Every structure is written in structure tokens, then in C-alpha cells.
Chains A and B, each alone.
Chain A
């Protein structure tokens, strides 16, 4: 027995090392730093251990609480829309038609473009004087033009639109992989039994792609919770702090203001919320998978 196990460990070691160095160590280090008061621009204050003070500050910081609300709103809107759009795209791309391979590649373009470029593009689209958005809406009647990025009530929506445009393709990719795993015989058999398109979807496609859907949901939720680059380029958190998502606030604290302790506390908070959501999803996803195994 031992003789078999030993080489297995040797093979696993590189991946453990990788996870340890690039995932566990930074998380541990962020947590450690979050217990200190450390301000880079005031080096004479030193690195003072303050226990959970940064966390107690965090839960009473109105800006942080509002940022957290903004982040949750962003997740709540973008994730379901992206997964639904992704589902639609995946279903369409799974059909056989001329130019399918070409279209599959095209659909991925928004996702493949670097987010900074996407953000800059959407900033131009939403420009209040020469943006395409206004032109499509109002044509030459420039006195009616809106400034979505200047309105506290619209700026977050503008960022949501950019995010949905960009990442629906990613959801589609995962769901498409799930669709392709469904054996064609099932549909054939259902066809012979006289099932229509809706019944095929309802009783074959839907139950079999649920794990892929949940996976897409999981990835999108965590990513949306960590949205940063769109905000950084499009609004810098404004106007009236309306797009100041938690991740951006944490970045400002750590990297602009040099408040390493407090910034780390925010990073840890974002991590814990992601982890909690991931655990919830995995529970749901896991039970789904278990049920299917029993059925098989």
C-alpha cells in the first residue's frame, strides 16, 4: 500500500506547492495584515497589532457598508442576466447550422478583449456629447442627450451593461460545454416517443445542464463580487460614490491611501463573502449531482 501511495504524493506536491504559494499564502498574509494598523505614508506609526479593530471599524464604516450594498446589487443584477443570456447563446450555438464554428469564435470576442479596453469603449459609448448610446436614442437632438456616467442613478447601470456585454459569453462557454455532454441518443429516443422541442428542453436539456448552469452562476457571482477594472476606468467610484463597489474601495484604501491594515481587512471581507457564496452554491450544486448519481 505504502509503495503505491508514495509516488502519488510526489506527483501531487507541485500542485500543492502552487496552491500554497499563490493562493493560501496571500490569503493568510492578507488576514495577518488586517490585524495590524499600518499606514505606509506614516512609517513612524510602525506596524501596530490592533486585533480585530480594523474589522470593527469596517462594520461601522458607512462608506464600506454602502459599497458592500453596491457590490451586492451589482451581483444580484448582472449574474442572473448573464447566465440567462449565456444560456440563450449556448442553446443557439449548440444547433447545427452553417457558420457555427465561426459564430462560436465571434461570440467569445467580448470576453477575450481586455477589460480595460472594454471599459474605455463603453465610456465612449456612454459619452454625453458624442456617444453612440445617445445617438441611437436621440439622433441629432443633442439637447436631449443623457450623461449616464454623470448620473448617480444611472452610472452603476451603465457599468452593469458593460459587464453583461462582456461576460455573458463566458457563461455561454460553460453552458455550451454542458450541452455538448448530453448524448444525442436521448433526443432521438425522445423524438421517437413523440416529444416536442419544449418537452425535450424541459425533460432532457434542463436537468442535464443544471450542473453547468450552477457552475456558470458560481463563477459569475464571484467575479461580479470582485468587479474592479470597469469601475476603475469608467467612473473611479463616482458620481456621488454611486459606483464605489467594495473591491474598489478596498483598492483605494490599500493602494492609494496606503492604509494597508484596513485595506487588507476589506480584502479579507470580500474573500469571506465570496467563500460563503461559493459554499452555498457548491452545496446546491453538490446535492444536484448526488441526486443524479442515485437516479443512474
Chain B
């Protein structure tokens, strides 16, 4: 290294460290499909708060990978992160670990009532509230209205019916590009959301929160998993779905290459945007099917804003959270991105309903969406389930009984860690 470089570097370090006269607020977020809207909203916040600069740190859009980024900062007590996005399954973990700031003083129950119940409940842990919902998600079934009409099919209410319709359409269309079902079956968090919907809509559960035992080895749960392996993956869907997250599965659908597609509410806007979708205007959406004799189930998803306990400016951070989750901003985010808002009143907002008539019917699905169990050990349990589900459906001759038994045993061992607390 040339000799002059060292003083040059020291010089620049010295000066850069004393540069900011502004207050910086760091917001850790993920890659958004509408980065421009975010930038505009943040600019508005900055305009309303002179001297404040919001620095966006953009992480991966996969929940699993984003979790690793955020928890790394929290574990290191990084004061650089003030506000961050929190997936609906993390509040219990972040609260128990002492990472998320309790927002009780900022976010009183009267204000909480303005939001849908399910996401508020998901943000509570141990009698405190840790996040403010920005938008809610629930699994929905998208379908090709034109193809179903062509063959005289009504939108399927039962899974076997969906498979039958897909098989018929595939056989008659003889289109080598077309596949029956596109969803998220990669080994990651989205896999749990998808599999949970199959399992719950067969009258089973992932685990029993009262007895704190896994229920994956129950016959109904295994039957749903077997159905996905035999009737969906490698049957009406092509095996590529085993590597798909949201974006890949949606791309297949918007390219007109899938008859049915499971995704969150935002997919509606993308699928009907003629600039990025070949099937705009030919899309239908409905609640997910169920197995005969059972009720449809949607996994509750969604994102909240939370404040790091290690933030040096919690007051300012709250102002930012309040601004981002205000009725006006939620409406704006909703209108521009097609995301389902977390505030209940917006589902009666004429402007939103005119633009997104589907929200009126989706409202029921969103309200009834089932949260994944709230527990500080969700991540260890999720990794066991991801491994189990992926092994069970990716191998054509998987031993589902054996895999379910060992997954349940592993989950029970993790759940036992929680018993220690009640014993104390």
C-alpha cells in the first residue's frame, strides 16, 4: 500500500465521523415491489420533521433471511437500528429476548382497536404490545377465470376438486408450458404457511398450544401432507415449485403458465397489472379450498413496525412508526401496492374499494386468518417443520409416518424448554 494512503484514510475517517449535523433514524426494511412509494413516504416524513434523516437499510425479502439480518443486529445490541420490519411470527421471540421495545405507552388499547384483531393479538406477548401492524396477509387462491369458464368449472371449494379441475384443463389444453398449481414449497418459512393451510383445512393442527405437544404425527395432519406430495407436487404442479418462494411462483402465474396459484393479497395487484402480467383481467381470487367436510384455513401473515430496545431515539422512532402506520399512509401504501391494510376502517373506504373491490370479499378471509403459534421458540420449531415438510413432499417415496414421528419428537423436545419456565 502506498504510504500516503494511510494518512488519507485516517483523515477521511476522522472527518466523516464528525460530519452529521442531522439526526439519523435507521430503518431496516426489505426489498419492496414498490420502492418508489416507500421513498416518497419517507421523504414526506422527513419534510414534516426537519433535521431528521431516515436511512433505509434494505435487507432480503425472504422472511427467513430477513430474520437473520435483524436478529444479528439485535443480538449485537446495535444502536444503529431504530425501526425495523417484524414478521407476524416474531413478536413473541423478540419480546422474550428483550429485543423489541414494549410500545404500551405509545400505542394504547384505544388506538389498537383501530386495527384488525388478529395482527394486534400477534403483536402482544406477556401482556405488552411490541409492534404496530402495517399490512396483513392471508393465503388466498388465485385462479385463471378464463380457463375455468372455458371448461365450465366453478372455482373449487375442495382440494380434490381443484386437482381434478387442473387435471382436466391440463389434459385438454395440451399446452406444454401450462402447469396446474404454483405456490411456495421451497424449504423456508413460506413452506410452513402453505403446509399449515393444507393441514388446518383437514381439521388438524401443527401443535397443541395447551398441552404443548406436536400434533404433526396425527393421521389427519399426515393425510394432508401426503396429499401435497402425491396430488400437488410432481402431479398437477411441476417439481420446480420445490424451489419456489413467492416471487418465482407468482411470475409463473403472471406469465400465464399456471391455472391455480396460492399467494398473499399483494399478488392481485401484480397479476392484474398489464405491464408485468400477461393475464391481467383474467384472474379470479377466492378463499383457499378445504378437504371435504372441513373448513378453509388461511395462514395469517403480515408485517409490523417495531422499535429496537437499543435505539437511542425511541421517541423519534415512535413518531416514524406512527406516521407510517397512520390511516393516511396505510391508505396510500394500500392503493399503490395492493397490500391489505391493517386498519379495519380502510376496508370500508370507498376509494380503496373502488380500486380493489376484492378487499371487500377478502376481508372475511383476513379476519379469520389463523396465526402461526406464538412462542419465543418459534424459530427452532419452524426449522424442524421446514425440514419435515420439505423431506416429506420432495421425495416421491418419503416415509411420511417416520418423518412425522421424528419431527414431532424433535418439536416436543423444543417445547419442553418452555416447561422449565412454568416449573420455576
> How far in angstroms is the closest Cβ of chain A from B418?
8
- A145-159 Cβ-contact flags toward B at 8 Å (1 or 0): 101011110000000
Check A42 for interface membership: any CB of B closer than 8 A. Answer: yes
> What residues of chain B lie closer than 8 Å to A127, measured between beta carbons?
248
> How far in angstroms is the closest Cβ of chain A from B326?
31
> What residues of chain A lie closer than 8 Å to B387, measured between beta carbons?
63, 237, 241, 244
Instruction: State whether A150 touches B377 (Cβ < 8 A).
Output: no
Which one, A43, A141, A238, A256, contacts B186 given CB within 8 A? A238
Are A42 and B417 also in contact (CB < 8 A) when A147-B242, A239-B394 are?
Answer: yes
Are A258 and B424 also in contact (CB < 8 A) when A128-B238, A236-B186, A252-B383 are?
Answer: no
Instruction: State whether A150 touches B376 (Cβ < 8 A).
Output: no
Interface bracket on B: 35 or more
Q: In the complex, A150 Cα to B237 Cα: how many Å?
A: 12
Residue of B nearest to A254 (CB): B75
Are A256 and B71 also in contact (CB < 8 A) when A149-B243, A236-B64, A241-B387 are?
Answer: yes
Instruction: State whether A255 touches B68 (Cβ < 8 A).
Output: yes
Chain A CB within 10 Å, residue with most, of B71, B176, B390: B390
- A34-57 Cβ-contact flags toward B at 8 Å (1 or 0): 000001111111000000000000
Instruction: State whether B64 touches A150 (Cβ < 8 A).
Output: no
Interface residues of B in 211-258 (CB under 8 A from A): 238-244, 248, 251-252, 257
Check A257 for interface membership: any CB of B closer than 8 A. Answer: yes
In the complex, besides A147-B240, A258-B75, 16 extra interface pairs with C-beta distance below 8 angstroms are: A40-B75, A40-B97, A128-B243, A129-B252, A142-B176, A152-B394, A236-B62, A236-B65, A236-B187, A236-B188, A238-B394, A240-B395, A242-B394, A256-B64, A256-B71, A257-B383
Instruction: State whether B97 touches A237 (Cβ < 8 A).
Output: no
- B385-402 Cβ-contact flags toward A at 8 Å (1 or 0): 011001100110010000
> What residues of chain A lie closer than 8 Å to B71, measured between beta carbons?
255-256, 258
* Shortest 8 CB-CB contacts between residues of A and residues of B: A238-B187, A128-B240, A150-B242, A147-B240, A143-B176, A150-B243, A240-B394, A239-B394
Q: In the complex, A259 Cα to B413 Cα: how many Å?
A: 13
Check B14 for interface membership: any CB of A closer than 8 A. Answer: no
User: Can you give 28 contacting A-B residue pairs, CB < 8 Å?
Assistant: A41-B97, A41-B376, A41-B377, A42-B96, A42-B376, A42-B377, A43-B97, A45-B421, A129-B251, A142-B177, A145-B240, A150-B186, A151-B394, A236-B62, A236-B65, A238-B242, A238-B243, A239-B186, A239-B242, A239-B390, A240-B391, A240-B395, A255-B71, A256-B67, A257-B377, A257-B379, A257-B380, A259-B380
Which one, B96, B257, B395, contacts A152 given CB within 8 A? B395
Check A14 for interface membership: any CB of B closer than 8 A. Answer: no
Check B23 for interface membership: any CB of A closer than 8 A. Answer: no
Instruction: State whether A241 touches B68 (Cβ < 8 A).
Output: no
A residues in contact (CB < 8 Å) with B: 39-45, 62-63, 127-129, 141-143, 145, 147, 149-152, 232, 235-242, 244, 252, 255-259
- B171-206 Cβ-contact flags toward A at 8 Å (1 or 0): 000001100000000111000000000000000000
Residue of B nearest to A141 (CB): B176
Q: In the complex, A280 Cα to B335 Cα: how many Å?
A: 64
Q: In the complex, A1 Cα to B377 Cα: how many Å?
A: 62
Number of A-B contacts (CB under 8 A): 119
Instruction: State whether B177 touches A241 (Cβ < 8 A).
Output: no
Which one, A45, A149, A252, contacts B420 given CB within 8 A? A45
Check B93 for interface membership: any CB of A closer than 8 A. Answer: yes
Are A238 and B379 also in contact (CB < 8 A) when A255-B68, A256-B71 are?
Answer: no
Chain B CB within 10 Å, residue with most, of A151, A257, A259: A257
> What residues of chain B lie closer than 8 Å to A256, measured between beta carbons?
64, 67-68, 71, 379, 383
Which one, B96, B239, B257, contacts A41 given CB within 8 A? B96
Interface residues of B in 34-66 (CB under 8 A from A): 62, 64-65
> What residues of chain A lie closer than 8 Å to B72, measured between beta carbons?
255
Check B406 for interface membership: any CB of A closer than 8 A. Answer: yes
> What residues of chain B lie closer than 8 Å to A150, measured between beta carbons?
186, 239-244, 394
